[in-house]
Structure 1
Amino acid sequence: MALILMLPTWPATAAIPATSVMTLYRFNGPLEIPYYDVESFRRSGPSSPAGYLTQGSSVIPCLVIRDGTPLTDRNGTPYVGFRVVVDARTATPAATERFEAVMRQRQAAAVANHHCGPGVRHLLNVRHLYDMEKAPFFDPPPPSMSSAIHSTSRGGLDRIVRAFHNSPQCQAANRQLVGRRNALQSAWNQFIRSVQAQWSEAVLQQAKHLDYVMRTAIFEGHLDRGCNAYGSCERNIIALSIRNRGREGCSRHWGCRYAGDYQGVASQVSQYNIWDEYLTQVSGLTACFLRDDLGGPSRLGAGYNAEYYRRLQGMYAQNLDAVQRILFGNEQDLRQIFPNTSVAELKSLRHYYHAPAMGKCFPHHDRVEYISGAVARQGGNFALIANTRIQVGQPTLGGYYFRDFLLRQDEERDVTRIVDLYPGFVIDGRKVSLRTASHCVPYGIPQGCRFNSVGRYRKTPSWLSAGRPLAVSCRVHDRGAQCQGGGGVGTVTVGGACDTQMRPVAGVR
């Protein structure tokens, strides 16, 4: 008797999700990303760019079909047609609303396939596209530029930092999306020249360094923690690591050009990825968030989040005194800010990592893979599978059936769902490795901790074994996640053997 293999059956034309709005992104890579002419690509591959798009630009990708097949390179990586949603090079504040509107529209749409319409002439490598869901960030226009200093200024360096945030130089640095890291540096240099009659050069330079460290400490930390005790201590530890890299451990590898170069250390992209070109376009890291008119009761207008600015100002104010003492104070300051930890250990702390942000892995789910870009097929319909995870199913001619592996990251665990968004589609087998994830550990922390249950698995950084985990205690004023509480001063500990959130590590060189 012949063996009959029963394969799944699906409707001939199942509806699938429309392609997402995707963003051009290459971490710490070239600002301009090439695209290619369709017909030139068919003849000779990606050899001669037809033009360039700027990192941070967002597009709607589609599959260009020729001779009944989507265009890919010889390894099966799709080169996709595209329609530009936001051109980062020319974007204005109106781009924020446009991005969000188109993203909502695409998320709600269902289609038969991802084929391009007629008239698409150019292609991008899909591996340069990511489904970020982050709109361009612009400060609201100020009601008027003023040299007046906000009543919450504490004088000294804080007065200068706030004057900069209220200055036309700071506003100009954020007027465009592109090049904000360099623009912020130029803005500070111009501001210093404009106020040299009011403050000494040395004091102005200190204020600049303080501003950079505060920006990095706030945005490197977990913004949702706001002004709670753990979040405040986290920011102090980040500032301490910058201090140590910029003082005793000064090295060009860490961006330090001279002893005390906290600006160079704090904004080194290879060490703090928040300063990457694209991330500065969407986060507010380079924003003038201490402006007098932001964060208070004033209305900022549609599209601007007053609560976001209020919390940024709250976090800045909460850590200001401690960070100044960490950067410019002495060993006694370190002892008071970080009780219960020796000064020698504090000075050896130059590294930390946030375990939830490390490489994700799922050892208890079989055949889960990340797909940077592949084509899936059902009959004459083709779908783009990009920047997503799938669970690989049974093999078939040309590849594998698959289902989407969806992830939501909660505070203490990963919540996963496996859904069939592309019923009957077969993903190109060349893009499936079936490799098993390695170096996966509970919560991304070293062995030695016991948990009743494990909520997530993460990889650990390559340098982890070169140091030792350090538990750091801070004396802080807990004002709650919304930065509105009036709690008292207490001691909180971050790190140590079993902290699943932030991991300070001492002794790594």
Structure 2
Amino acid sequence: MRKLLGAVALLLSANLQAAIPATPVMTVYQFNGPDGLPYYDADSFARNGASRPAGTLFQGTSVIPCLMIRNGEPLTDKSGTPYVGFEVVVDPRRASRGDTDVFKRAVERRKSLQVENHHCSSRVRNVIDVRNLYALEKAPFFDPPGSGGGRGERGGSELDRIVRAFHASSECAGVNAGLTHRRQGLERAWNTFMGKRSDLGSKTTLARAKHLDYAMRTALYEGHIGRGCNAYGACERNIIVLSIRNRAVGQCYAGRGCDFPGDFQGVASKPSQYNIWDEYLTQISGLTSCYLRPDLAGNDYYAKMQAMYAQTVPDAERILYGSDSDLRQIFPGNGLADLKEMRHYYHAPAMGKCFPNHDRVEYMTGAVARKGRDYALIANTRIQVGAKRGDGYLFEEFFFDEKPDRDLVRTENRYPGFLVDGRKVSLRTPSSCPAYGIPSGCRLGSVGRYRKVPSWLHDGRPIEIQCRVSDRGESCRGSGRRTSVAVGGICDKEMRPVTGVR
């Protein structure tokens, strides 16, 4: 009996030691790419490579990836990039509100699961390039179903009232009934609404309201929603609206979405310029939602969005359609020429991450790690490369937690004994990035993080923009105190407006 118990304990110990994290739920994503990304029959890929797609997966499809084993080896291209099998979790083309929970449950289940290896089961038949998969945990977003109740704000101007009427309309509701093509759906909805609601104003007035709605959506979701209605957040939104204005007034380029002078809608919703309008990103945010619906005022999230909108929309209307005098009043203390040339900005914490003080840290878009006959998928993650063993390297996963003032870094060996494919390891010198991703000139002392900067940064001049706003605090429940605030100062580690970029 004692020998039997010992054998069982030894077996359990061996299984525990062999356990590695299961592959996470991953999402099909290529920024501003085609709607569908190709997948291939595994047997065909093994013979001929990625020559003849068997079909496509729509942007935003969530899958559980696995390594397809053929003749004892995972399927990869010649460079060692895995083409992985997959099981679909949520197909956005068929998704409904209930799939939000389906996605969340799958993500949590995979996080807690330990496995022996990442091999596919026999029922998996197709493979996709792992470079088109990302471990993104944002669930599909849907507005709650309408209740028809609630009393909305009347609106402070004619354009504001029209925007609110659109948000309460059936046309707006239809945009978010499904997950896909929401950007295109929003445009169709506005066109239908304007055709039906001539009672609200002239064609010109209705068109202006549409442009205002687009500018406000971009300002709200490009900005930091967590700042709520505090002074910095309000100024940030005003600066975003100003960038939209300046891309459509005085300088109108088709490449930036501007089809005619004053085309604020085209400029504000161009994915290559404001990436929140990308197909996948509209599936996981309220960007195209009807967030001003009166019946949503009792929902904490929507109540906050409505308050942020109400705080910013008077200034936004003046920025888009007002005079030079309006710009001077909203942004006091700034040179008018600098204000009108401010078309670019960036949020430093969101820029590319780099770790110049940590050696042998590499980002793996996709690689195979091996331990005997067991294979693991290492994808969309950073590793710290260890000692070389044969044609591979030992490694540990490299994690960082983004805190307000620094990145907290740690490594973890969750794949003991596995060797990552040496073909995917470069051992390049760590890239050099500015401290906090901001221009030089600030006396920083201890540096908590490093970030890359935009390629166009040196084509212009970083500026500090002063705003005069009503501060209602992050909760948006304050009474509203008029105050001055600056964004983009020499030591501002958050938002960086840049003037003069052509």
In structure 1, what is the equivalent of residue 6 of structure 2? none
In structure 2, what is the equivalent of residue 244 of structure 1? 246
Of the candidates 151, 154, 162, which is equivalent to residue 153 of structure 2? Answer: 151
Q: How far apart are residue 167 of structure 1 and its match?
A: 0.5
Which amino acid letter does the alignment assign opposite residue 379 of structure 2?
Answer: A
**Are 2:209 and 1:207 aligned?**
yes
In structure 2, what is the equivalent of residue 475 of structure 1? 468
Which amino acid letter does the alignment assign opposite residue 129 of structure 1?
Answer: L
Distance 2:99 2:348 in 1: 33
**Identical positions, percent:** 59
Distance 2:154 2:416 in 1: 58
Q: How far apart are residue 437 of structure 1 and its match?
A: 3.0
In structure 2, what is the equivalent of residue 6 of structure 1? none
Distance 1:407 1:169 in 2: 43
| Greater share of residues in helix | 2
In structure 2, what is the equivalent of residue 100 of structure 1? 104
In structure 2, what is the equivalent of residue 109 of structure 1? 113
In structure 1, what is the equivalent of residue 26 of structure 2? 22
**Are 2:329 and 1:336 aligned?**
yes
In structure 2, what is the equivalent of residue 81 of structure 1? 85
Q: 1:174 to 1:246 in 2, by over 3 A?
A: same
Instruction: Select between 186-195 and 148-157 the one with higher mean Cα deviation.
Output: 148-157
In structure 1, what is the equivalent of residue 295 of structure 2? 293
The answer on whether the counterparts of 2:151 and 2:295 sit within 8 Å (CA) in structure 1 is no
Distance 1:234 1:18 in 2: 40
The answer on whether the counterparts of 1:18 and 1:109 sit within 8 Å (CA) in structure 2 is yes
Which amino acid letter does the alignment assign opposite residue 246 of structure 2?
Answer: N
Distance 2:414 2:234 in 1: 42
1:188-199 aligned within 5 A: 188-199=190-201
Distance 1:108 1:482 in 2: 34
**Matched residue SS, 2:294:** coil
User: For residues 285-306 of structure 1, what are the alpha-carbon distances to aligned partners after superposition, in whole Å with 9 as ceiling and x for unaligned?
Assistant: 000000011132xxxxxxxxx3
In structure 1, what is the equivalent of residue 359 of structure 2? 366
Q: How far apart are residue 272 of structure 1 and its match?
A: 0.4
In structure 1, what is the equivalent of residue 401 of structure 2? 408
Q: How far apart are residue 410 of structure 1 and its match?
A: 1.2
In structure 1, what is the equivalent of residue 223 of structure 2? 221
TM norm structure 1: 0.94
Which amino acid letter does the alignment assign opposite residue 238 of structure 2?
Answer: N
Q: How far apart are residue 482 of structure 1 and its match?
A: 1.5
The answer on whether the counterparts of 1:76 and 1:431 sit within 8 Å (CA) in structure 2 is yes
Q: How far apart are residue 421 of structure 1 and its match?
A: 1.1
Distance 1:47 1:118 in 2: 23
1:257-406 aligned within 5 A: 257-296=259-298, 306-406=299-399
**Matched residue SS, 2:409:** strand
User: For residues 303-324 of structure 1, what are the alpha-carbon distances to aligned partners after superposition, in whole Å with 9 as ceiling and x for unaligned?
Assistant: xxx3221211111011011101
The answer on whether the counterparts of 1:95 and 1:136 sit within 8 Å (CA) in structure 2 is yes
Of the candidates 427, 448, 473, which is equivalent to residue 455 of structure 1? Answer: 448
**Matched residue SS, 2:118:** coil
CA RMSD of aligned residues (A): 1.4
**Are 2:141 and 1:142 aligned?**
no
Which amino acid letter does the alignment assign opposite residue 391 of structure 2?
Answer: G
In structure 1, what is the equivalent of residue 68 of structure 2? 64
The answer on whether the counterparts of 1:289 and 1:309 sit within 8 Å (CA) in structure 2 is yes
The answer on whether the counterparts of 1:81 and 1:116 sit within 8 Å (CA) in structure 2 is yes
Distance 2:442 2:267 in 1: 33
In structure 2, what is the equivalent of residue 118 of structure 1? 122
Distance 1:374 1:444 in 2: 29
User: For residues 184-241 of structure 1, what are the alpha-carbon distances to aligned partners after superposition, in whole Å with 9 as ceiling and x for unaligned?
Assistant: 0000000000101331101100100000000000111111111111011000000001
Distance 1:225 1:85 in 2: 33
The answer on whether the counterparts of 2:159 and 2:208 sit within 8 Å (CA) in structure 1 is yes
User: For residues 67-124 of structure 1, what are the alpha-carbon distances to aligned partners after superposition, in whole Å with 9 as ceiling and x for unaligned?
Assistant: 1111111110111111100001111111101000111100111111111111211101
Question: Structure 2 unaligned runs (5+)?
Answer: 1-12
The answer on whether the counterparts of 1:70 and 1:78 sit within 8 Å (CA) in structure 2 is yes
Of the candidates 425, 432, 439, which is equivalent to residue 418 of structure 2? Answer: 425
Q: How many residues align?
A: 489
- Structure 1 stretches of 4+ with a deviation exceeding 4 A read 10-13
Distance 2:493 2:380 in 1: 26
Q: How far apart are residue 402 of structure 1 and its match?
A: 0.3
In structure 2, what is the equivalent of residue 128 of structure 1? 132
In structure 1, what is the equivalent of residue 429 of structure 2? 436
Q: How far apart are residue 41 of structure 1 and its match?
A: 0.6
Distance 1:487 1:394 in 2: 59
TM norm structure 2: 0.95
User: For residues 422-448 of structure 1, what are the alpha-carbon distances to aligned partners after superposition, in whole Å with 9 as ceiling and x for unaligned?
Assistant: 111100011111112334110001122
Q: How far apart are residue 484 of structure 1 and its match?
A: 1.2
The answer on whether the counterparts of 1:496 and 1:504 sit within 8 Å (CA) in structure 2 is no
The answer on whether the counterparts of 1:78 and 1:374 sit within 8 Å (CA) in structure 2 is yes
The answer on whether the counterparts of 2:360 and 2:430 sit within 8 Å (CA) in structure 1 is no
The answer on whether the counterparts of 1:407 and 1:415 sit within 8 Å (CA) in structure 2 is yes
**Matched residue SS, 1:120:** coil
The answer on whether the counterparts of 1:149 and 1:163 sit within 8 Å (CA) in structure 2 is no
The answer on whether the counterparts of 1:149 and 1:162 sit within 8 Å (CA) in structure 2 is no
In structure 2, what is the equivalent of residue 187 of structure 1? 189
Distance 2:130 2:209 in 1: 43
Q: How far apart are residue 11 of structure 1 and its match?
A: 6.3
Q: How far apart are residue 151 of structure 1 and its match?
A: 3.3
Q: How far apart are residue 497 of structure 1 and its match?
A: 2.2
In structure 2, what is the equivalent of residue 299 of structure 1? none
